[in-house]
């Protein structure tokens, strides 16, 4: 099935997932060295969701919003790893001039509208972006990502209702990594299958394998198509898994080592790599080349962040209002 897809796209998806993985590994290290502070939520293990989804949209007219676990989406949208790392370091060269940090990455030009630290707050905002797209009839679609924790917020339910009554071009993607901080989603959810939650609002839902980037790409493509051409919102539940704790301060003692190891066997990068090798789309040599290229990019991002200046004190008074 991989061979039915464009080879360049497949390789790009592999590359992007590898970039995210390396970036997150490095971010974790830098956190350990206290170069990064505060809340830092890593995306290791969930790469296929952001990468497969972004491959299905056209960021010249489409938009993407997510919650606080946002490094992967930012990179998938093509944001500069240097600007992201510098932001994590709190430097003036960061994408948000050192004012946002890990949870508040933004790139207006790349149509990446955050990064939001309040669980589920991005859901009405994303719905509003889709509202603007419909208002202008510009053919754009918005992807709205959130976790299994956010799906129980009122903001989710209020938004789906309005997306349906106004036929907004939006795809809601629940990244169910199965643990809302330290709480298993089954313990706090009325249903195990989140795709059902769209039915109360007449919105079609589907569960997909969030560890398989090809499946994510294909399913999100269908949903985007529906949103773009028929103005139909939809809800996807991408079942996935985070390898790290909820944030850097979480040792994740609420789950077993075996559970984590079991999911690592379904690693999205390994799955795609094996598939591409088997089907002769990728060679081991190319893979190694990607790996070393990415290593260099991530090292360069760290070096850039290290080298960059701290923001001058006066900058804390800037960017509050448009003068």
Partner 1 sequence: MPLITYREALNQALDEEMARDESVFLIGEEVGEYNGAYKVSKGLLDKYGPRRVIDTPITELGFTGIGVGAAMAGLRPVVEWMTHNFALLALDQVVNNAAKMRYMSGGQFKLPIVFRGPNGPAEYLASQHSQALQTYWAHVPGLKVVAPATPYDAKGLLKSAIRDDNPVVVLEGELMYAWKGEVPLEEYLVPIGKADVKREGKDVTVVTYSKPLKVVQEAAELLASEGIQVEIVDLRTLRPLDEETVYRSVRKTNRAVVVEESWPVCSVGSYVAWLISKNCFDVLDAQVEMVASEDIPMPYNHTLELAAQPSVAKVVAAVKKVLYLGE
**123 is a site residue for partner 1 (CB under 8 A):** yes
Q: Which position among 11, 104, 222, 255 is part of the footprint of partner 1 (CB under 8 A)?
A: 104
Burial class (CB in 10 A: 0-12, 13-18, 19+), 146: buried
Residue whose token pair is 């994510």: 216
58 binds partner 1 (CB under 8 A): no
Contact letters for partner 1, residues 260-299 (x by CB under 8 A): ----------------------------------------
CB 166 within 8 A of CB 131: yes
> CA gyration radius for the chain?
19
Binding segment for partner 1 (CB under 8 A), chosen from 31-39, 48-56, 157-165, 231-239, is 157-165
Cα dihedral across residues 265, 271, 277, 282: positive or negative: negative
Question: Does 116 interact with partner 1 (rule: CB under 8 A)?
Answer: yes
- Binding of partner 1 at residue 106 (CB under 8 A)? yes
Binding of partner 1 at residue 312 (CB under 8 A)? no
Stretch that binds partner 1, among 16-24, 46-54, 113-121, 183-191 (CB under 8 A): 113-121
From residue 69 to residue 98, what is the string marking binding to partner 1 with x (rule CB under 8 A)? -------------------------xxxxx
Rounded Cα–Cα distance for residues 309 and 303 (Å): 12
CB of 249 to partner 1, least distance (A): 21
Measured between alpha carbons, how far is 323 from 307 in angstroms, rounded to an integer?
31
In this structure, how many other beta carbons lie within 10 angstroms of the beta carbon of residue 196? 14
Please name the residue ranges forming H helices in the chain: 7-32, 47-54, 71-76, 81-88, 122-136, 154-165, 213-230, 257-264, 268-278, 284-307
Q: Which is nearer to partner 1, 70 or 237 (CB)?
A: 70
Calculate helix-pair angle for 213-230, 268-278, nearest 10 degrees. 100
CB of 109 to partner 1, least distance (A): 8
Nearer to partner 1, 63 or 179 (CB): 63
Q: Which residues bind partner 1 (CB under 8 A)?
A: 63, 65, 94-100, 104, 106-108, 113-118, 121, 123-133, 135-136, 154-155, 158-159, 161-162, 165-166, 318-322
């Amino acid at each position: 099935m991989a061979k039915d897809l464009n080879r360049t796209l497949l390789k790009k998806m592999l590359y992007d997932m590898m970039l995210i993985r390396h970036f997150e590994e490095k971010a974790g290290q830098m956190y350990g060295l206290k170069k990064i502070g505060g809340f830092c939520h890593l995306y290791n293990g969930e790469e296929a969701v952001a990468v497969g989804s972004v491959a299905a949209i056209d960021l010249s007219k489409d938009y993407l919003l997510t919650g606080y676990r946002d490094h992967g989406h930012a990179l998938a949208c093509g944001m500069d790893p240097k600007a992201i790392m510098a932001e994590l370091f709190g430097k003036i060269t960061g994408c948000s001039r050192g004012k946002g940090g890990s949870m508040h990455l933004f790139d207006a030009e790349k149509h990446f509208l955050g990064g939001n630290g309040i669980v589920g707050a991005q859901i009405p905002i994303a719905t509003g972006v889709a509202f603007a797209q419909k208002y202008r009839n510009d053919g754009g679609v918005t992807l709205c990502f959130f976790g299994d924790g956010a799906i129980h917020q009122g903001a989710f339910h209020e938004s789906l209702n309005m997306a349906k009554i106004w036929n907004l071009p939006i795809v809601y993607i629940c990244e169910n990594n199965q643990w809302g901080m330290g709480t298993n989603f089954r313990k706090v959810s009325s249903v195990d299958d989140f795709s059902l939650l769209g039915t109360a609002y007449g919105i079609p839902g589907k569960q997909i394998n969030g560890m398989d980037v090809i499946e994510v790409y294909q399913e999100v493509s269908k949903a985007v198509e529906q949103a773009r051409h028929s103005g139909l919102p939809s809800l996807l539940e991408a079942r996935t898994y985070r390898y790290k704790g909820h944030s850097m301060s979480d040792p994740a003692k609420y789950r077993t080592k075996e559970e984590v190891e079991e999911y690592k066997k379904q690693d999205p990068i390994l799955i795609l790599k094996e598939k591409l090798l088997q089907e002769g789309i990728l060679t081991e040599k190319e893979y190694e080349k990607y790996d070393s290229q990415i290593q260099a990019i991530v090292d360069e991002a760290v070096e850039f962040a290290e080298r960059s200046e701290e923001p001058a004190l006066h900058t804390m008074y800037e960017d509050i209002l448009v003068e």
